[in-house]
A = this chain, B = another copy of it.
């Protein structure tokens, strides 16, 4: 464990920028207007520096520990390297959809990236009831490009093997394995929920079919090395922007990929679905039924864009000798089915597990109760219903029905 490196401070940032010539063209270090720490301090330090001309940049430094719900445990800052690698690998495929890295200093686990102050975190925008049209499709396109471009289909065989060797941080994988798959269903001290949801959690944890689904999901997560995933592709990992007076997003940037690893393609897709359902649960709880309906429509938007992008790149696959259109169709069908499975895991962990979402947590308890219940029921239904009909449309209708039925006021 490397932890004896100096942590960056607000005071030190101007000098840091001056000492890194590549950063000089992005911000005027001699004429800074502000330097702020904007990270949550749980995993990373994040500084934003702005000059008087309005230009800026962001510095991100990995901390040698993770804090979560009070607990703290050591965590290699090497994850910074995995984040940089994945951002670069993904930017090589869809540069317009990935936050741009400006410079990196691996020795101190720091990298600099473009300032996206004119963007907002998508989850925050959703929580405020804002609509950014087109984002879900762009996220799907990103996932499709990554699924193809970092896999056996898009990469030279030996380069792929070399990249796989350096692209997995097991310490971070363990966090996902425990928090996402094991703990919500099997129980853990750091789990938490409203007293009003106690019966829901009890029922959920008594649902044997869900446990079996998680056993399989976790095994797939740990053994199916299909593509260099983002690893944590929720609405809080996407920055969005729209022009004044429009609801059409004109910029979408994926960031925060420190959980990147070679894993099952459907894990990223399923993560987005889960977060759309959670956003919808919030909207229903607030009585914004039209917007809730729109949130659930994002499931299909992301899937169809994912599929379209993967199919668009398919003719470029490295080895077409066996992998034909029929194989492609079956592969996409399997991924669609597995997206339900991973979405179910992600929904349950956000309601019961240690790391929650502001979508649900900022609701007043009387309506939070029903929102949490609805998401939990959707998670339980998803692992079964995917075998009957794995279309995004079915996901949308099922979630709509369960979330509306469960809401409280």
**A interface residues, Cβ below 8 angstroms from B:** 152, 157-158, 160-162, 164-166, 168, 170-171, 173-174, 177, 181-182, 185-186, 208, 211-212, 214-216, 218-219, 222-226, 319, 321-324, 326-327, 330-331
A182:B215 contact, CB within 8 angstroms: no
Instruction: Using CB atoms, name the residue of chain B closest to A211.
Output: B322
Residue from the list B171, B218, B326 in contact with A322, Cβ < 8 A: B218
Complex Cα gap A171–B174 (Å):
30
Q: How far is the CB of A14 from chain B (nearest CB, A)?
A: 39
B222:A223 contact, CB within 8 angstroms: no
Instruction: Using CB atoms, name the residue of chain B closest to A327.
Output: B215
Complex Cα gap A216–B329 (Å):
12
Residue from the list B161, B177, B214, B215 in contact with A170, Cβ < 8 A: B161
Instruction: Using CB atoms, name the residue of chain B closest to A185.
Output: B322
Q: A152-B223, A215-B324, A216-B330 are in contact. Are A173 and B161 (CB under 8 A)?
A: yes
Complex Cα gap A185–B171 (Å):
41
Residue from the list B211, B223, B322 in contact with A181, Cβ < 8 A: B322
Contacts of A326 in B (CB 8 A): 208, 212, 215
Complex Cα gap A186–B208 (Å):
44
Instruction: Using CB atoms, name the residue of chain B closest to A162.
Output: B170
Beyond A158-B174, A161-B173, A214-B322, 4 additional contacts (C-beta under 8 Å) are A157-B170, A182-B321, A216-B327, A219-B323
Q: A171-B158, A174-B157 are in contact. Are A182 and B224 (CB under 8 A)?
A: no
A219:B331 contact, CB within 8 angstroms: yes
Q: A218-B322, A222-B152 are in contact. Are A158 and B182 (CB under 8 A)?
A: no
Q: A152-B222, A215-B327, A216-B330 are in contact. Are A322 and B186 (CB under 8 A)?
A: yes
What are the 10 tightest A-B residue pairs by CB atom distance, in nearest-first order? A161-B170, A215-B327, A215-B322, A186-B321, A165-B165, A223-B226, A152-B222, A182-B321, A158-B170, A225-B225
Q: How far is the CB of A328 from chain B (nearest CB, A)?
A: 9
Complex Cα gap A368–B25 (Å):
74
Most chain B CB inside 10 Å of its own CB: which residue of A168, A170, A208: A170
Instruction: Using CB atoms, name the residue of chain B closest to A264.
Output: B223
Contacts of A208 in B (CB 8 A): 326
Complex Cα gap A225–B168 (Å):
13
Instruction: Using CB atoms, name the residue of chain B closest to A321.
Output: B186
Instruction: Using CB atoms, name the residue of chain B closest to A212.
Output: B326
Complex Cα gap A222–B223 (Å):
11
B321:A219 contact, CB within 8 angstroms: no
Contacts of A170 in B (CB 8 A): 157-158, 160-162
Complex Cα gap A174–B159 (Å):
12
Complex Cα gap A166–B208 (Å):
38
28 A–B contacts, CB within 8 A, in A order:
A152-B219, A152-B223, A157-B173, A158-B170, A158-B174, A160-B170, A161-B168, A161-B173, A162-B170, A164-B168, A165-B165, A165-B166, A181-B322, A208-B326, A211-B322, A211-B324, A212-B327, A214-B322, A215-B323, A215-B326, A215-B327, A218-B323, A219-B323, A219-B327, A223-B224, A223-B225, A224-B224, A225-B225
Complex Cα gap A125–B157 (Å):
38
Complex Cα gap A326–B208 (Å):
10
Contacts of A157 in B (CB 8 A): 170, 173-174, 177
Complex Cα gap A218–B94 (Å):
28
Contacts of A174 in B (CB 8 A): 157-158
Complex Cα gap A219–B224 (Å):
10
Complex Cα gap A399–B323 (Å):
28
Contacts of A171 in B (CB 8 A): 158
Contacts of A165 in B (CB 8 A): 165-166, 168
Contacts of A212 in B (CB 8 A): 326-327, 330
Complex Cα gap A326–B171 (Å):
28
